[in-house]
Structure 1
């Protein structure tokens, strides 16, 4: 979804391991229903965590630089617009082709957008509730480097309201990485409709935070993650991730188009390990 969920490394191609028709049809149908709900409501309700007994603390507001009201609203609008565009891309059923189908059920499809950029959609089932995933992927995004080795640092630069943040991210330097380190400046927006959480984002520019020396500033978005509760008893969630990224620099498309879906698999593997560790500690 967001650049923080990408491991920037050179990938390898995969053979198609199995048919994905069942999962793909289910994912598209569910997304379509949720988007229809959003259109009828005319908005997406802000996500408020309601899980009883949560030990996660909210970000300390006093440690965050105040945002002028006009900037506040501008960033919120940027996040909402990015989410709207990303959801529309997911809703369009035409042109998706299977890239990777894992034996555990994870499926990655791709689609070539106008202009020639390839976007990737991942569908998976995770052993975690919606709120736990929201905490890991949004509320505690600055801690992501602790469990995702592809991230060197994520810093929240601004809070533009309870569910919109501006972040700067630096990817980790890894041996054999043909793509090299990137940094990202993004607005991230979170909202909830019924039992689903939506995490959207896109690249932005700030005069106060120009590109950093020594890094290529990549751009993501519009992109999103959709987390949908499957079973409250077993705390499973359906995870849909639209990855849409311009890596910038002088990189062949073939390398980028191999690296990005591999990054989705790597990220999901690290996320599952974190969820397993949380379950053991809990």
Structure 2
């Protein structure tokens, strides 16, 4: 499996989602976070778009979202998040286990995801995620194995204040199992707002300097119970 090619394709797909402003329907607004959705073209479910402002530099924000060291400590939707293979400095394969949600009606799921960060001009970073198969990590009886179609984050400087970031998140997760679509559609928007707020809270706790590699990039740009 050509993981690097898949990673590039996923990043391009997330960028295309970010540029496509047509057909979105706002399904929830709360605490300055907006969640929109439209039918996914890849499975029988929704593609979600979550956007808002994060009071942090884009380079800090993308490093924070890309690195897994503290993920479970701030992301309350997860019970485990582990890197299981490093392909290169910008591309990882991770195993994720989610918490149950929707008052327990959606049981924990696990995912094997290819995660990739792509640096764009203008200090924009794209962090893409897509589920893949990986030797040694087949589905087990402990969790339903979910599937993430191209999903990810777009971090860019806020035009009004470049020290702040505009964060746009795209989610199109196939939960698998025997869930009714209505259960997912009812619970997902609130969960996505909660995730966004968790990012803000996590950044306050885990402040970290920009690594040397990222500093150079910035300078260059300037010139789930089973059911």
Question: Offset at 1:129?
Answer: 1.1
Structure 1 Cα separation of the partners of residues 19 and 163 of structure 2: 26
1:121–1:173 CA distance, 2 compared to 1 (3 A) = closer
- Once the two structures are TM-superposed, the CA of residue 175 in structure 1 deviates from its matched residue by 9.0
1:129 aligns with 2:57: yes
Alpha-carbon distance in structure 2 between the residues aligned to 1:224 and 1:242: 5
* Unmatched tracts of structure 1, length 5 or more: 1-70
1:266 to 171, 175, 194: 194
Partner secondary structure for residue 80 of structure 1: helix
Which structure has more strand as a fraction of its residues?
Answer: 2
Specify the SS of the correspondent of 1:187. Answer: strand
Which of 64, 70, 84 does residue 157 from structure 1 map onto? 84
Where in structure 2 are there 5+ consecutive unaligned residues?
208-227
1:141 is paired with a residue whose SS is coil
Aligned mate of 2:110, from 155, 160, 183: 183
Q: Which residue of 1 aligns with 2:143?
A: 215
1:142–1:156 contact (8 Å) kept in structure 2: no
How far does the alpha carbon of each residue in 1:222-273 deviate from its partner, in whole angstroms, 9 at most, with x for none? 1121000126977210001111110000000011112222221111111111
Deviations 1:42-100 (A, max 9, x none): xxxxxxxxxxxxxxxxxxxxxxxxxxxxx6xx111111111222322333333211111
Of the two, which has the highest radius of gyration? 1
Q: How many residues align?
A: 205
Output the CA distance in 2 between the equivalents of 1:232 and 1:88: 23
Q: Contact between 1:127 and 1:275, CA under 8 Å: does it hold in 2?
A: no
Conserved? CA contact 2:98–2:108, under 8 Å? yes
SS of aligned partner of 2:11:
helix
What TM-score do you get using the length of structure 2 for normalisation?
0.83
The answer to whether residue 23 in structure 2 is matched with residue 106 in structure 1 is no
Comparing 220-229 with 174-183, which one deviates more in the overlay?
Answer: 174-183
Superposition RMSD in Å:
2.1
Render the CA deviation track for 1:8-60: whole Å, top value 9, x for unaligned. Answer: xxxxxxxxxxxxxxxxxxxxxxxxxxxxxxxxxxxxxxxxxxxxxxxxxxxxx
Greater percentage in helix: 1
